[in-house]
Amino acid sequence: MENTETLREWFERVDSEKTSSITALQLKSAFAVGNLEFSLSVVQQMIRMYDFDRNGTMSFEEFVALNKFLMKVQNAFSALERGRGYLSPEDVYEALVKIGFSLDSPAFYTVCESFDQNKKGRFRLDDFISLCIFVQSTRNIFNSFDTAKQGRVSLDFNQFVYCTANCRI
């Protein structure tokens, strides 16, 4: 969905209450219509990632930003799934690099283990999107603490609690 007019139509259908914003439940239901099954916590994380005004819902402009990210993720998935409908862990690593995420082996395999829903080493599109939402969210939080842009941060306990509370999926 790249066309702004198409996105606007989709957004207005999801915004059934005509509030000019959509809730996590509305977004979750809309994804389900498209055969993408996400837990409510993943959809809430999507909204938090792009909720620029921090009101807990998604405006059209915020939705456009989310859609841009999701299209990037979906394109990376499509380029590597080879008609199988899933990615292997090796494909996931390559797709993450294409998107701009570079994880070392321990971090990568820990994330894969967490998001491999069936524990078979096969990541469907919704699994891969959930994994990318988590990695992008953690990157956003990390970057807010890495003010010197050195790739390292020091956190006190309160900051650590804040980070973990905002990255839960």
Domain residue limits at 51:
4-166
What phi and psi values does residue 162 have, to the nearest 5 degrees? -55, -50
CA count, 13 A, side-chain hemisphere, 155: 15
Q: What is the pTM of this model?
A: 0.84
Per-residue pLDDT tens, the chain, 169 aa: give them: 458 888 888 889 889 889 999 999 999 988 888 778 888 888 998 899 899 998 999 999 999 999 999 999 999 999 999 999 999 999 999 999 999 999 999 999 999 998 988 889 999 998 999 999 999 988 888 888 898 888 888 888 888 888 777 665 4
Domains contained in the chain, number: 1
Distances (CA, A) of 135 to 50, 59, 99, 116: 14, 23, 11, 14
Here the CATH number for the domain that contains residue 140 is 1.10.238.10
Q: Is the dihedral of CA 19, 63, 58, 10 positive or negative?
A: positive
